[in-house]
Amino acid sequence: MTANISGRSIHLSFIIYHLSVISYQSSVISYQLSVISYQLSVISKVMGGLGTGVWSSFLSPYPLLFPNPYS
């Protein structure tokens, strides 16, 4: 009787441990996704700034022919 109860408790503790590992992995994955989205937003801001600078520096003598799409 005691062996059956101890085996069941070991099984339950293993299930709880497995669920905690799964929740930890999902939190790590969500953290990595948030880091990736932050990096993408930084990259898009940098590229947008570069595009604005290049566009205004190259085409500033021709504002009527080439209106700045970033303004």
Could you give the maximum distance between any two Cα atoms of the chain, in Å? Answer: 91
How are the residues of the chain apportioned to helix, strand and coil, as percentages rounded to the nearest 5? 80, 0, 20
* Rounded Cα gap, residues 57 and 69, in angstroms: 13
Which pLDDT tens digit goes with each residue over 15-34?
999 999 999 999 999 999 99
Which pLDDT tens digit goes with each residue over 31-57?
999 999 899 888 888 777 676 666 566
Total residues found in the chain within this entry: 71
* Rounded Cα gap, residues 47 and 70, in angstroms: 12
For tokens 């930084």, name the residue.
Answer: 42
